[in-house]
Amino acid sequence: MLVAVIICPLFQAVGFFEYLCMIDNCASYVFAYALPTLALMIFLPPYYRAAITGHSGLSSWLKPLWLLLPIALTFSGPIIGPVLLILCPFALLYLFYENWKNKSDLSYSQRFIQSLASINTQLLISFGFTTLLCMYSFYIGTHNSENSWEVISLTERYKKLGEGLIKTTSFSEGFILILLIVLYNLFLLQLSKTTGTEKLVRILYFALLFAVAYLFLLPLGGYRSYRPYIIRRDTLQPVLWLLFFAWGLSTVYVLKIISSVKRTVCVSLIIIISLVYTLTDKLPVYTNTCERQSMHKISTATADCIELKESCTVMQWGPTLQCEDTRYGSALLHLWNITPREIKYHQKP
C-alpha cells in the first residue's frame, strides 16, 4: 500500500504529460497502450512471485489459462510484443546459464540437456511459446502501412533517439528527478548488503539492463512523423513501468534500512517530491464539444459532402481538406447510425 501511495503522484494527466504519462488523454491510445499494459500486469506477477518466493500462487485450474494469455497479449498493442520478446527469451537464457554453471561435471551434451530440463516446465513452455508468438507479431508489424509514411535511415533514427533522450532527461519533463533518486536508492541498497536488499538490487539491475536494451531497439521499429524523437509517452511506457516500480519499491526498502533520524529526512523528501508532482499536474480541461457539434451537422446534412466551419478534427488526427480523405470516417459514422448514409466532409484550408 505504501508503494502505491508513493508512486501515485507520478501518474500525470497534464503536468509532465509528454514523457511521464501512463494513461493517455486519447481514448484510442488508452486501448493501444494502457489496457494491454494492464493485461501484461496480470500475466507477469505469478512468474515474478515464483522468482521471489519459489511459488507462483496460481491455482491449478488457472495455470492453463496462463498458457493462453500470451496469444491475446502479443497481438494486443504495439509495445507488449517487443517487451515480451526481450523479457521471455532472456529470462530463459538466464535460467539456462545458471543451471549450466552448476553442472560443470557433465559432458557438453548432457550439460546442455540437463540445464534445459532443469528450467521449470510451465515457465519453459509459456515463455517459449510467447517468444514464438512475439516473433510472428513482429513479422506482421513489418507490413504496417505506417512504415512507408516517412522513411529515414537507421543512423538518423538513432540521432533522433539521442535528441529524444536529452529532451526526456531535462528537468522540465519530470523524468530525471525520479531517475536520479532511484539511482541513489540503488546505491544505498548496494551498501546495505542484507539478504532482502541483495535480491532487490539484482532485480533493479536487470530492470535497468532491460530499459537500456529496449531503448536501443526502439529505432528498429521505424520512424513516425508524429513521434519526431522516437520516444514519447507511448513508446517510453515500458521504461516508465520500471521507473515507477523501482521508485516505489526501492524507497520503501531504503526507509527500512536507514536510521530514524535519516528516515525523518527521507520521508520529508518523499512528501516534497510528491507535492511537486501533484501540484504540477491538474485535471484536463479538454472537451469534445466542437467535435460533437460537427458530428451533429454531418448527421443532419442533405448533401453527399459538406464543409465544416469548425476547425477541430473529426474522426481524423488532423484537419480534413478533401472529401475523399473522409471516406473511412463517413463509413464508420454511418455504421454507428450517427448519419443516415455515408456523408463525407471537409474543412477550409
For residue 149, which amino acid is it?
A: W
Q: Counting beta carbons within 10 angstroms of the beta carbon of residue 186, is it exposed (0 to 12), middle (13 to 18) or buried (19 or more)?
A: buried
Alpha helices in the chain (DSSP H): 2-7, 17-20, 27-29, 35-43, 45-53, 63-74, 80-101, 108-117, 121-141, 154-168, 175-192, 195-217, 237-257, 260-280, 289-299, 327-335
The values of phi and psi at residue 344, to 5°, are -80, 165
Asked which of 280, 311, 327 is the last residue of a domain, the reply is 280
Residues 14 and 123 in one domain: yes
The last residue of a domain, from among 261, 280, 299: 280
Domains contained in the chain, number = 2
Q: How far apart are CA 246 and CA 84, in angstroms?
A: 19
Same domain, 160 and 75: yes
Residues 99 and 221 in one domain: yes
Q: Is residue 332 located within the same domain as residue 251?
A: no
The pLDDT, as a whole number, for residue 133 is: 93
Are 216 and 335 found together in one domain? Answer: no
Q: Are residue 160 and residue 66 in the same domain, yes or no?
A: yes
Residues 312 and 210 in one domain: no
Angle between helices 35-43 and 45-53 (to 10 degrees): 30
Residue ranges making up the domain that contains 193: 2-280
Both 72 and 119 in one domain: the answer is: yes
Tens-binned pLDDT, residue by residue, of the chain (349 aa): 888 889 999 988 888 888 888 888 888 888 888 899 889 988 998 888 888 787 887 888 888 888 888 998 888 878 888 899 999 999 999 989 988 888 777 788 888 888 888 888 888 888 999 999 999 988 888 777 776 677 788 899 999 999 988 888 887 788 888 889 899 888 888 887 776 788 888 888 889 999 999 998 888 877 888 888 888 888 888 999 899 999 999 999 888 888 888 888 888 989 999 999 988 887 777 778 888 888 888 888 888 888 888 778 888 777 888 888 888 889 999 999 888 889 998 887 6
Regarding whether 306 and 179 lie in a shared domain, the answer is no
What span, in angstroms and rounded, lies between the C-alpha atoms of 1 and 76? 29
131 and 207 co-located in one domain: yes
Largest CA distance in the chain: 84
Query: Which one of 255, 280, 305 terminates a domain?
Result: 280
344-347 and 305-308 beta bridge pairing? parallel
Whether 97 and 46 map to the same domain: the answer is yes
Residue 1: its pLDDT value, please? 87
Same structural domain, 224 and 296: no
Residue 7, C-alpha cell as written in the block: 508512486
Any idea how long the chain is? 349
**Angle between helices 237-257 and 260-280 in degrees, nearest 10:** 150
